Amino acid sequence: MRKTHKILMIVCSLIAIVAVAAIFFFKLPVRNVAFGLMILNCPLSHLLMMKFMGHDHDGEHHHEAHTNEIPDNTSNR
């Protein structure tokens, strides 16, 4: 397992532990904690996706030029 995966697993586990601690120690309603986690899910997922998706930035351009030429089929009429 790669180091980034281990760190990600630890962070996710800590989020769950903090949520349980907020429910039991601070007597927060489960509904409020779940709602807060759902709100944080979208931006955190986006940040993690952008960090770990691994874009290839080696300086080479891999895009090909595409032309939008329409074949002239009027000569067949």
pLDDT, tens digit, 9 for 90 and up, residues 30-61: 999 999 999 988 888 888 788 777 765 555 55
Number of structural domains the chain divides into: 1
**Cα 48 to the center of its chain, rounded Å:** 5
Q: Is 17 part of a structural domain of the chain?
A: yes
| Contact of 28 with 17, CB cutoff 8 Å | no
Q: What is the pTM of this model?
A: 0.54
pLDDT of residue 61: 54
Q: Is 66 part of a structural domain of the chain?
A: no
Which residue range is the domain that position 28 belongs to?
3-52
Q: Is 73 part of a structural domain of the chain?
A: no
Question: Does the pLDDT at position 26 exceed 80?
Answer: yes
Cα–Cα distances (Å) from 47 to 2, 3, 29, 63, 69, in that order, read 19, 18, 28, 26, 39
Q: Is 26 part of a structural domain of the chain?
A: yes
Q: Is 48 part of a structural domain of the chain?
A: yes
Q: Is 77 part of a structural domain of the chain?
A: no
Q: Is 65 part of a structural domain of the chain?
A: no
Q: Is 74 part of a structural domain of the chain?
A: no
